[in-house]
Each structure stands twice: as structure tokens, then as C-alpha cells.
A and B are shown apart, each in its own frame.
Chain A
Amino acid sequence: MRDPGAARRAWAEQANGEAVPSAKLTYEGSQPFGGELLHRWRLGNGLTVLLLVDGAAPVASYHTWFKVGSRHERPGKTGLAHLFEHLMFNETESLKAGTFDRKLEENGAETNAATWVDWTYYYESLPAERVKLAIQLEAERMTRLVLREPQVASEKEVVANERRYRVDDDVEGSANELLYKTAFSQHPYQWPTIGWMEDIQGFTPEDCVAFYRTYYAPNNATVVVVGDIRERDVLLAIRNAYGTIAAQAIPAEDIDPEPVQLERRETEVRKPTATEKLLVAFKGPALGDADHAVATVLNEVLFGGRASRLYKTLIVDRELATDVRGWVSTFRDPGLFECWATARGTHTTHEIQAVMDDAFARLRADVVSPEELARAKARLELGLLQQLETIPGKAEQIGFFETVLGDPSHAFRRVEAFRRATESDVRRVARRYLRDEGSTVVRVLPESGAAREAAQ
């Protein structure tokens, strides 16, 4: 059979010519991504490049994913990965402060970044013919960022304000932070990615430089390019921009696995809110665990759509809640299966929790109906398609699954796994994870009688 990668390998050999070892391109094969082919390349310095040509619109999205997140921090220095993400938009050796964003905006690009427990990523979405600008700028800041005291001080203030917005003055944000702090005792998932306020305020430029030199290296990154691009032009531009950057020794992770939880943990917090809020969480499977897809189906049975069990019981039939949601964390290491509910009026978290406990017990005791399973699978398939509606959406899916699991097309494999999930699988996963002794409960209670009266 003809080798489908032969033409690319031959081209790479010719294109590499006299290139230095760090700049040599190697073709590592392709895999289907929906109806298209996703190609994997690697530079000599270890930079992974994933390319998907998609001519649906004259645009491109350029993502750079680093395998560093808040899991790589330590107590006292929490929030460094996120603060550093902000600083990446500052000065470089050849670009004055503010120039990075101005150049991109002038070329019609949207740019932003995100940091979470396992990763940090940066993206530029721009007209397809301008993709080389993103390549030049990202290569520049991967290795030539300038970190000075004034910028670090100002950005710490910005992040402190972001924390006030997302956590301190936000009921759900603060409850979620408390949940992870309570549920994890060893693993870095216990601290918030945005960091504790006192840690944010204590960072120095030296902290930031040390972090940069440790984790921002081509062999710790994946570049994803999706859009109406010419594959070879993009590859040559990447080689020219990144080829001289040296690989670094990335320190081995030093993370203690979270010990098995043997007792139910409960905590509560008072907030200026009209109604009670409940978070119930169980220790869940890692994203790469075969149980993760089944747990996601189980979550959909409980929370997906108005016909789902807990939505129907808590919101429609018994009117105990205004909002219910569930999520199985998509983390590299085992995370949580989170259940959130907002009580309605003067109803309490205890009433809601009794309904939830009953629903969990039913899932452990009985198999779900074929109709429920079919509904959950149909909704999950719709969810995947919605994530692939845009070019930046596709790039994000590719980058995320490559960085966490090493499998850029995993979104499609997950849908296959959803389809395979049986009634028995759902019950087995319920019995394995929905264990009372592995659960953590956070209650948010209204602070004052006045707020409480407002709910009546």
C-alpha cells in the first residue's frame, strides 16, 4: 500500500537541507479529525506542530499549548502560572510593551489565553493570510520575554482584581474554590489556579523569570494551526521562527497522588446572597480513565436537559431549586464529579441533598432506562458538534486533548465511547464513584435575615 506520509517526508527531507538540528522538521504521521486529516510534525528542538487545513472560512487559529498549569506550583507560590500568562502579553526583547497586542489588532486578530490546573494556552485567531504574524510573535515571546518590576507590579494588581471579580465577590466562584480546598489534601488541585490573594501579592520578577526559564520551552509546547492555510508555508515559517530556540530540560513532576478519601467532608460559608447553594462532589476519574466517558454519560442522565433526573425532580416537579448542574472534571489526574444546585426561595440545601442522595442511590441500585441512555448520548453528540462549529473551536479541542492525553483527535473517540456505554456501565461507574465516604459537601448560606427575606 502506498505510504500516505511519503510525500510529506520527502518534502521535509528536501526542505531541511542544511538546517541546524533544532530546526529540522520531522513528519510523524496523520490521523482523522472528523472528515479531515490532522498532520503531526515535530521540530528538532522538540516543538510539536499539529496542522489541520480547513477552508470553511478565510480564517486561521494559531494555538500554543504549554504543559504547565497550577499543578506545577507549590504552596506559597500559587497563581504563578496564571500571573505569568498575563505577563506574556508584555514587553519582549524586540517589542515594546503594548506592541504585541497592537500588531495583532492591526491585522484583525483576536488574541487571548487561559490557564488551568494542567495547562496554559495562548491563541491568535486571524485572517488566514496573516497567520505568519502569529508565528513570529509567539516564537518571540516563547524565549525573549522581558520581565521588569513595574509590569509585574501592575499585572499583580490586574490579577488581584480578576480574583475579586471571579472569586471573592462571586458566590459560585468562592464556593467552588472552597470545594477543591476541602476535597483535596495532598494534590495541587487543592489550590485555585488564580492563586490565593496573599500569594498573588507576593510575587517578584525573579519568581516569574525562574518560572519562564523552567517551563517555557519548545519541547514543553504544542502548536496547533487550523484554518484556510497552506501547510508547507506554515511549516517553513514555524521552522524559521522557532528553529533556533533550544530545548530545555523540563523538571520531572513531583506530585503526590491524592490519598483515597475515607470520610465525608462538609463545610459551609456565609455570603450576602438570597438563597442557599449546595455543592456535592465525589472523587472522579481522570480524563484518560476509561470510566471518564461513562461518568460523563451518568452526569448527563442526572443533569443534561429538562428531562434529566435531577433537573426534572428539583426544578420542575418539586421546585426546590432554580439551577442544577453537574460536571466531571476533565483533568489529567483524578478530579471531582461536581453537582451544583441553587435552592429556590427558602428551601434548604438539606432538602436538595436528600433528593440528590436518593438519585445517587437509585443509580447505584438500578440500571438506567434505554431511553434515558439514548437521550444522554444524543445530547453529548450535539455538544461535541457545537464545539466544532468554528475554526478556533476545533483548534482548542485539538490542543486540549493533545496536551492532557497526547491524543489530539480524542474528542471523536469520546463520542465513540459515549455510544458504547451500556446501562451496566453506568451502574458500575455509579457504584465506583458515587460513594458517600468519597464525597465533599459545601453549603453556601445567606448571611443575613434581610437577604433571606428577599427570597421569600
Chain B
Amino acid sequence: MSAAKSRARAPVRFDLDGGALALLEASHALPLVSIVVALRSGSAADPTGKSGLARIAMRMLRRGCEGMIAEQIDFRIDSLGAEMAVDTAPSTVAIHAQVISRSVGGLVELLTRLLTTPTFPIDELERLKRETIAEIVEARDNDRVVGQKALQRTLFEDHAYGRNSGGTVESVASITRDDVMAFYRRYVVQGNIVVGISGDMDADQAPVVARALIAGLSRGAPAPDDVPEPTMRRGRRLLVVDKPERTQTQILVGTMGTSTHDDDHVALVVANAVFGGTFTSRLMKEVRSKRGWSYGASARTVVDRRRQAWVMWTFPAAEDAAACLKLTLELMGTWVEKGVTPREVAFIERYLVRSHAFEVDTAAKRLHQALDVELLALPADYYSSWTDRVRAVTPEAASAAVRNRIHPADLLAVVVGTAAQVLAPLREAIPDLAEASVVPFDAE
């Protein structure tokens, strides 16, 4: 295959029965096929008090179907040389499967059975709930994950984006078989499904496979997209997540970020890349290169259907935490106040445009871009016109986007560390701090 052909291609689209959509990105470079069965709804649709339902319900599909118990399904997947996993996000939940080409028929047959004839055995549901709760407890060992969860629930509070896709110990415990059945009947329907196939499959085979996967499902309709725009509390807040014996802290600073439908979305992405998107960004230069305070220092804009967070991350030693937080807030303030320079913008645009080759260098990546457009309701040309839109961003536009969208006066700093050691200096490090609180690391 020539490079030119690779660049020119876009996934092939097929409309399926009942409003379902299939996307194919073929590549015969390796004897591998990936299949994604994604719903146009995710954990944001979990009922109040039942967070984790979308993930549990989709994981239950491989815990029993007509003619097969969970153990037989597990044996079958492994025998095929296949892998199958569930990925949950606020706006979509998906089964990802990958298989050696010679076994693709067997995988499609199995996946079809799992999707269309699940039995949701009650003992398997209880087993999965116990497994999930144990995983939630275990995740408390990972300070970064602890920090991310605390930031999400504290920044967005009661909004759907404030819920963890995996659920909490209490919410998972409350999920019943009726909840799972109701989820399946409402969401696992043709009208709410996008099938993605990438890898070693031809364009004439793909629609046959995709149709077979969903033929046995009821028609249904796409899930309503009724998640409201999130808002955040005014003022500067500090939340210390207290964990014993930390030699290091995880510091996450969050505020409201961008929507892909903003006129200045790409301008903000460009400005953010200058600030904290690369190894030579302002954050890395000041925090790591000059001071050696943190192994990493970055800032990112999260993308979803609604406006999502802007998050800055460092992880300094406990004794450097306050100084590091103070410095990063000053850098943030300067970024917002003074914007970015023409030289910085010219540099980062070259980086973003030239490195784009690695966003589309495999069939799986190209497919996922197309799936993102569908599932996250991105503008249709979000990826296809990406490099042109990056090139068009002026330094003035990038600076204006930061000024208009990022508000340093309203932010949340989450620090995972040993409170007795870090709380007092951290309070001092945040000018105009409105509120400080401490929660134990195993609060969720």
C-alpha cells in the first residue's frame, strides 16, 4: 500500500437496519481484525444512585447467553485467539474485540449470540458486582486515579460528568437484574448502535458482518442526548485527599475547558499545547527542566459532547508540593493574562500539523476518529479538517481563546498527599483561596 493511498482514505460507511451505522477501515497489513460495538449513550445516562450501570450491563453480555454459560464463553474467546473488553465513557459504552483473521467468523458468531441472546444470570450479576467493588477498592492504591476521581466528582458535583463511569461501592451494590434488563432493552437496540470494523476485512464482507451482529436486536431509537451543560462553582477551592505516608503528591488543577463546537475550540487546543501539551511546553520547562520538581507536568483539554474540563497535572515530592502548586498557578495566570507569542504559536502549529501523521497511521486509529465523530457528536469535519484549522489559528486568536475560556479565579486544586504534612503550606500557596477541605483517600 502506498503512503498516498493511506493518507487519502476515510472509513467506509454503511447504513444498517433500524438506524444502525457501520464503519469500516480496512488494512491488510496484518492478519488482525478489530470489531467495536458502541452505543450512542454511556455512563452519563446511568440513573441517579446507579452509577456504573452501563459498564456492568455491557460486561454482563459475556456472562451468559442462550446455550452458553459464562465459563463456556470465556473458553470460546480464548480458543479463538481473541480479546474482548468493555470501555465506558460518559457519552458511549462499547465492546472492543480483536481476533486473528482466520477466526473472525467464530468471533462474529459468538459476539452475535452475546448481543442478541443474553441471559443475565443472577448469580453471574452478583459475582460481577463483587468483582467490580473489589476493583474499586483496589484502585485506591493508585494515587493518580484517586486524584482524577476526586477532581471529577468535586469539579462537576451533581452533573453527570461528576459521576465515575465505573460507579462507587454503594452504587454498584445497588444495581439489580431489573436495572440491567432495563438498560439492555432501552439501549442495546439497533437505533442506538454504531459498529466499527478495522483491519483485515474487505468492504464487501464488512456490511454482512455488521448486519449479522445486530439483526437479532429490536429496532429502538437513539438514546436522547439530554445531558445539560455543566457549570462550576465560583472561587478557588482546595481539596486534599489524605493518604498516609506519601513521599510524593499528585496535584490536579481543574476548571471549565472547551466544547468542540466553540468557534475558538481549535485555538484553545493550540494555546494549551504551548502551555502544557509537549515535552518543551512552558509547564515542562519550568517545573521539570529548570527545577526538577516533577517527572511530568502537563495540561490537557478533555473532549466530550458538552463542555468538559481543562486539567493541569504535576506530581512533585511532598516537600515541593506547595512551591510547585504556587508556581503552576502563576504560570497559568500569566498564560491567561498575556496569552501566547507568535513564535510559540508558529512552533506548536508545526508540531501539531506534522505529528498528525501519527494520529492516522493505523486502521484502528482512523476508525476511532470516525467513531468519535459519531459518538461524541463532534463536527463532521472535526478530524478531516484538523490540520487546516490548526494552521489557521493566529496568535491573537489563541490568546483570546485562553482569556475567554480559562478562568483562573474559578478553579479546583486536588492534591493527593498526607494532609498533616501538606495542607498548611498548600493553603498558603493559593492566593484568594475561598475554601479548603480534606477527605480520606478511600472516600469513594
B149 interfacial by beta-carbon distance below 8 Å: no
Q: Provide the A370-387 mask, 1 if CB < 8 A to any CB of B, else 0.
A: 010011001101100110
Instruction: Please name all residues of chain B whose beta carbon is closer than 8 Å to the beta carbon of A154 when the two chains form the complex.
Output: 289-292
CB distance from B61 to the nearest CB of A (A): 14
Instruction: Please name all residues of chain A whose beta carbon is closer than 8 Å to the beta carbon of B31 when the two chains form the complex.
Output: 385
CB distance from B100 to the nearest CB of A (A): 6
B362 interfacial by beta-carbon distance below 8 Å: yes
**B98 lies within 8 A of A165 (CB):** no
Q: Provide the A411-451 mask, 1 if CB < 8 A to any CB of B, else 0.
A: 00000000000000000000000000000000000011001
Instruction: Please name all residues of chain A whose beta carbon is closer than 8 Å to the beta carbon of B358 when the two chains form the complex.
Output: 59, 108, 110, 125
Instruction: Please name all residues of chain A whose beta carbon is closer than 8 Å to the beta carbon of B354 when the two chains form the complex.
Output: 106-109, 126-127, 130
- Indicate whether A58 sits within 8 Å of B74 (C-beta atoms), given known contacts A108-B350, A154-B291, A156-B292: no
**A307 lies within 8 A of B78 (CB):** yes
- Indicate whether A388 sits within 8 Å of B77 (C-beta atoms), given known contacts A161-B292, A454-B442: no
**A375 lies within 8 A of B75 (CB):** yes
A158 interfacial by beta-carbon distance below 8 Å: yes
Instruction: Please name all residues of chain B whose beta carbon is closer than 8 Å to the beta carbon of A170 when the two chains form the complex.
Output: 141
- Indicate whether A108 sits within 8 Å of B288 (C-beta atoms), given known contacts A98-B280, A161-B316, A316-B127: no
Q: Provide the A113-149 mask, 1 if CB < 8 A to any CB of B, else 0.
A: 0000000000001111010000000000000000000
Binds A, one of B42-50, B242-250, B405-413: B242-250
Q: Provide the B10-36 mask, 1 if CB < 8 A to any CB of A, else 0.
A: 000000000000000001011110000
Q: Which residues 68-112 of B have a CB within 8 angstroms of A?
A: 70-71, 74-75, 77-83, 98-100, 103
Q: Provide the B352-382 mask, 1 if CB < 8 A to any CB of A, else 0.
A: 0111111011101000000000000000000
B279 interfacial by beta-carbon distance below 8 Å: yes
Instruction: Please name all residues of chain A whose beta carbon is closer than 8 Å to the beta carbon of B143 when the two chains form the complex.
Output: 169
Q: How long is the Cα–Cα vector from A275 to B81 in the complex, in angstroms?
A: 33
A273 interfacial by beta-carbon distance below 8 Å: yes
**A108 lies within 8 A of B78 (CB):** no
Q: How long is the Cα–Cα vector from A153 to B103 in the complex, in angstroms?
A: 55
B1 interfacial by beta-carbon distance below 8 Å: yes
A68 interfacial by beta-carbon distance below 8 Å: no
- Indicate whether A382 sits within 8 Å of B100 (C-beta atoms), given known contacts A125-B358, A165-B295, A389-B32: yes
CB distance from A453 to the nearest CB of B (A): 9
**B355 lies within 8 A of A109 (CB):** yes
Binds A, one of B114-122, B130-138, B208-216, B303-311: B130-138
B293 interfacial by beta-carbon distance below 8 Å: yes
A323 interfacial by beta-carbon distance below 8 Å: yes
Q: Which residues 149-165 of A have a CB within 8 angstroms of B?
A: 153-158, 160-162, 164-165
Instruction: Please name all residues of chain B whose beta carbon is closer than 8 Å to the beta carbon of A451 when the two chains form the complex.
Output: 442
Q: Out of A98, A158, A160, A382, which one reaches B98, CB within 8 Å?
A: A382
A274 interfacial by beta-carbon distance below 8 Å: yes
Q: Out of A126, A272, A389, which one reaches B362, CB within 8 Å?
A: A389
B404 interfacial by beta-carbon distance below 8 Å: no
- Indicate whether A160 sits within 8 Å of B74 (C-beta atoms), given known contacts A169-B248, A323-B138, A389-B30: no
Q: How long is the Cα–Cα vector from A382 to B81 in the complex, in angstroms?
A: 6
Instruction: Please name all residues of chain A whose beta carbon is closer than 8 Å to the beta carbon of B442 when the two chains form the complex.
Output: 274, 451, 454
A304 interfacial by beta-carbon distance below 8 Å: yes
**A108 lies within 8 A of B141 (CB):** no
Q: How long is the Cα–Cα vector from A161 to B278 in the complex, in angstroms?
A: 19
A345 interfacial by beta-carbon distance below 8 Å: yes
Q: How long is the Cα–Cα vector from A319 to B71 in the complex, in angstroms?
A: 15
Q: Out of B138, B278, B315, B364, which one reaches A342, CB within 8 Å?
A: B138
B386 interfacial by beta-carbon distance below 8 Å: no
**B140 lies within 8 A of A108 (CB):** no
Q: Out of B27, B279, B357, which one reaches A127, CB within 8 Å?
A: B357
Instruction: Please name all residues of chain B whose beta carbon is closer than 8 Å to the beta carbon of A127 when the two chains form the complex.
Output: 354-355, 357
- Indicate whether A308 sits within 8 Å of B78 (C-beta atoms), given known contacts A57-B357, A57-B361: yes
- Indicate whether A161 sits within 8 Å of B32 (C-beta atoms), given known contacts A105-B278, A109-B355, A272-B243: no
Q: Out of B131, B137, B293, B357, which one reaches A274, CB within 8 Å?
A: B137
**B74 lies within 8 A of A108 (CB):** no
Q: How long is the Cα–Cα vector from A451 to B357 in the complex, in angstroms?
A: 47
Q: Which range contains the number of B residues in contact with the other chain?
A: 35 or more
**A161 lies within 8 A of B293 (CB):** yes
CB distance from B245 to the nearest CB of A (A): 5
Instruction: Please name all residues of chain B whose beta carbon is closer than 8 Å to the beta carbon of A391 when the two chains form the complex.
Output: 361
Q: How long is the Cα–Cα vector from A109 to B170 in the complex, in angstroms?
A: 45
- Indicate whether A385 sits within 8 Å of B364 (C-beta atoms), given known contacts A55-B3, A57-B357, A168-B248: no
Instruction: Please name all residues of chain A whose beta carbon is closer than 8 Å to the beta carbon of B246 when the two chains form the complex.
Output: 169
Q: How long is the Cα–Cα vector from A374 to B137 in the complex, in angstroms?
A: 35
Q: How long is the Cα–Cα vector from A345 to B278 in the complex, in angstroms?
A: 41
B6 interfacial by beta-carbon distance below 8 Å: yes
Instruction: Please name all residues of chain A whose beta carbon is closer than 8 Å to the beta carbon of B293 when the two chains form the complex.
Output: 157, 161
Q: Which of A58, A168, A391 has the most CB of B within 10 A?
A: A58
A315 to chain B: closest residue by CB: B131
Instruction: Please name all residues of chain B whose beta carbon is closer than 8 Å to the beta carbon of A323 when the two chains form the complex.
Output: 138
CB distance from B9 to the nearest CB of A (A): 11
B142 to chain A: closest residue by CB: A170
Instruction: Please name all residues of chain B whose beta carbon is closer than 8 Å to the beta carbon of A111 when the two chains form the complex.
Output: 279
Q: How long is the Cα–Cα vector from A344 to B246 in the complex, in angstroms?
A: 24
**B279 lies within 8 A of A101 (CB):** yes
**A273 lies within 8 A of B141 (CB):** yes
Instruction: Please name all residues of chain B whose beta carbon is closer than 8 Å to the beta carbon of A125 when the two chains form the complex.
Output: 358
A157 to chain B: closest residue by CB: B292
A171 interfacial by beta-carbon distance below 8 Å: yes
CB distance from A382 to the nearest CB of B (A): 5
A56 interfacial by beta-carbon distance below 8 Å: yes
Q: Out of B127, B247, B355, which one reaches A319, CB within 8 Å?
A: B127
Instruction: Please name all residues of chain B whose beta carbon is closer than 8 Å to the beta carbon of A371 when the two chains form the complex.
Output: 75, 79
**B81 lies within 8 A of A228 (CB):** no
Q: Provide the A49-78 mask, 1 if CB < 8 A to any CB of B, else 0.
A: 000000111110000000000000000000
Q: How long is the Cα–Cα vector from A128 to B355 in the complex, in angstroms?
A: 11
B153 interfacial by beta-carbon distance below 8 Å: no
Q: How long is the Cα–Cα vector from A168 to B247 in the complex, in angstroms?
A: 7
B7 to chain A: closest residue by CB: A58
B292 to chain A: closest residue by CB: A157
B317 interfacial by beta-carbon distance below 8 Å: yes
Q: How long is the Cα–Cα vector from A169 to B350 in the complex, in angstroms?
A: 38
Q: Which residues 353-371 of A have a CB within 8 angstroms of B?
A: 371
**B2 lies within 8 A of A55 (CB):** yes
B159 interfacial by beta-carbon distance below 8 Å: no
**A161 lies within 8 A of B81 (CB):** no
A397 interfacial by beta-carbon distance below 8 Å: no
Instruction: Please name all residues of chain A whose beta carbon is closer than 8 Å to the beta carbon of B289 when the two chains form the complex.
Output: 97-98, 154
A213 interfacial by beta-carbon distance below 8 Å: no
Instruction: Please name all residues of chain B whose beta carbon is closer than 8 Å to the beta carbon of A288 when the two chains form the complex.
Output: none
Instruction: Please name all residues of chain B whose beta carbon is closer than 8 Å to the beta carbon of A162 when the two chains form the complex.
Output: 295
A246 interfacial by beta-carbon distance below 8 Å: no
**A378 lies within 8 A of B78 (CB):** yes
**B78 lies within 8 A of A106 (CB):** no
A451 to chain B: closest residue by CB: B442
Instruction: Please name all residues of chain B whose beta carbon is closer than 8 Å to the beta carbon of A164 when the two chains form the complex.
Output: 247-248, 317
Instruction: Please name all residues of chain A whose beta carbon is closer than 8 Å to the beta carbon of B294 when the two chains form the complex.
Output: 158, 161
- Indicate whether A107 sits within 8 Å of B350 (C-beta atoms), given known contacts A319-B130, A390-B362: yes
Q: Out of A56, A59, A102, A168, which one reaches B1, CB within 8 Å?
A: A56
Instruction: Please name all residues of chain B whose beta carbon is closer than 8 Å to the beta carbon of A375 when the two chains form the complex.
Output: 75, 78-79
Known: A57-B6, A105-B279, A108-B354. 7 other contacts (CB 8 A): A56-B361, A157-B292, A158-B295, A171-B141, A382-B81, A382-B83, A390-B362
A-B contact pairs, 9 of them (CB 8 A): A58-B7, A106-B350, A153-B292, A154-B290, A160-B292, A161-B317, A378-B79, A378-B81, A389-B364
- Give the 9 A-B CB pairs with smallest separation, nearest first: A108-B354, A157-B292, A378-B81, A57-B361, A58-B3, A108-B355, A306-B74, A305-B78, A164-B248
**Chain B residues in contact with chain A, CB under 8 A?**
1-3, 6-7, 27, 29-32, 70-71, 74-75, 77-83, 98-100, 103, 127, 130-131, 134-135, 137-138, 140-141, 143, 243-248, 278-280, 285, 288-295, 315-317, 347, 350-351, 353-358, 360-362, 364, 442
